[in-house]
Structure 1
Amino acid sequence: MADSSSLPPATGAAASPVTPINLVLLSLFVVLVYLRLKPAKPQTLPRAPPATVFRTFTPPELFPYNGQNGMPVYLAVRGRVFDVTAGRNFYGPGGPYANFAGHDASRGLASGSFDEDMLTEDLDGPLDTLTNLDNEQLEALQGWEERFSEKYLVVGKLVPVGSDEAKAAAALQ
C-alpha cells in the first residue's frame, strides 16, 4: 500500500487558468489578430516625372544638360538629342562618357575617342558635318545611334546657332 504522505494534498478548487504563460500567449494572439485585421494604408503611386517636350536645341542651349546642378543628361548624335539621364553613371559627371554630356557626341562616338578635342569647341559656330569620317567610323556611329534609339528617348533636335530653326524655336519660347 502506498504511503499517503507522498501524494499531493487534495484541494477542492481547480488550478487557475490565469498564469503568466497564458497571459503572454493571449497577448500574442491579440496582437496577431490586430495586425491581420487592421486596415492597410492606401497605396500611393510615385510622382510621374515631368513631361518631356520635343524641342529644338542649339549647342549653347544643350550645354547645361550635362547632369550637374540637378540637370538631366542630354547628348546629341547626328542632330538628334537623347535624354541619357537613365545612364547617368556612364554619361553624367564622373562617368566614362561624361565629356559627351551636353554636347554633340557624334565625332567622338564615331572615332571611339572620349577626348575633349572630339567635341565642338565653338558652341556658336557651325555644327560638325562629319564629312571626313571614313566608312568604318560612319558604321560605328550608326551602331551608337541605333543603341541610343533603342534605349533612350529622343527629346529634341540640334541645330546651329542663328539658323532659321533656332530663330523659330526662340520665337516660340
Structure 2
Amino acid sequence: MITQIIVFLLILYFVKTIYTEFVSNGNPFSSKNSPIESIVEGKFTPKTLQKYNGKDHPKIFIAVKNRVFDVSQGSAFYGPGGPYENFAGRDASRGLALNSFDPSVLTPINEPIDDLKDLKDLEKESLEQWEEHFENRYKVVGTLHENGAVKDEN
C-alpha cells in the first residue's frame, strides 16, 4: 500500500512538472505562440545577470564557469519554487561544485567573480560534470565578466 502511494506521488510530481513547463513555455503547437524576448548572445556582469531569475524577468539564466546559459526551459527546476532557484540569475559555479543549494555559497553580486581556485579535485570534477550537463541541454547566451568590465544596462 505504501509503495503504491509513493509511486502515485512520484507520477503526480512528474505530471505537475511537465504541465508547469508546458504552461510556462506556452503551447508549442499553437501558431499564436511567439517567443517572449530574444536574448542576443552577450556579455553579462553579476549585476546585469541578476534580473534573469524568473521573477524579475521571464527568462532564467545561470552562469557556470563564466559562461551564461539560458535555462528557461527548465523553469520547474531553476525558476521560482524550483530546487535550484537560488542559482537563477547568478554564478552557480561554487554551489554546483559543492553540490550545495545553500545561498551562503554564492558570491554576492557586488564582489569579484569567484575564481574557484580553492576547490578540491572532487569538487572540480563535480563542476565539470555540471558544466557538461548545461552544455548538452541549454543554449549559451553569453559570458560573465566583472562588474564595471561591461557597461551596465541600468
Distance 2:41 2:95 in 1: 24
CA displacement 1:7-32 (0-9 Å, x = unmatched): xxxxxxxxxxxxxxxxxxxxxxxxxx
Distance 2:100 2:62 in 1: 15
Q: Does 1:54 align with 2:41?
A: yes
Give how far 1:48 is off. 4.0
Give the 5 Å matches for 1:92-111. Answer: 92-111=79-98
The equivalent of 1:132 in structure 2 is 118
Distance 1:74 1:145 in 2: 14
The equivalent of 1:157 in structure 2 is 143
Secondary structure of the 1:157 match is: strand
Contact 2:68–2:143, Cα closer than 8 Å, also in 1: yes
Secondary structure of the 1:156 match is: strand
Give how far 1:51 is off. 2.8
Q: Which residue identity is paired with 1:120?
A: T
Q: What's the C-alpha RMSD, in Å, of the aligned pairs?
A: 2.1
Q: Does 1:87 align with 2:74?
A: yes
Q: How many residues align?
A: 125
Q: Which residue identity is paired with 1:142?
A: E
Gaps of 5+ in 1: 1-43
Contact 1:64–1:71, Cα closer than 8 Å, also in 2: no
Distance 2:57 2:41 in 1: 20
Contact 1:124–1:160, Cα closer than 8 Å, also in 2: no
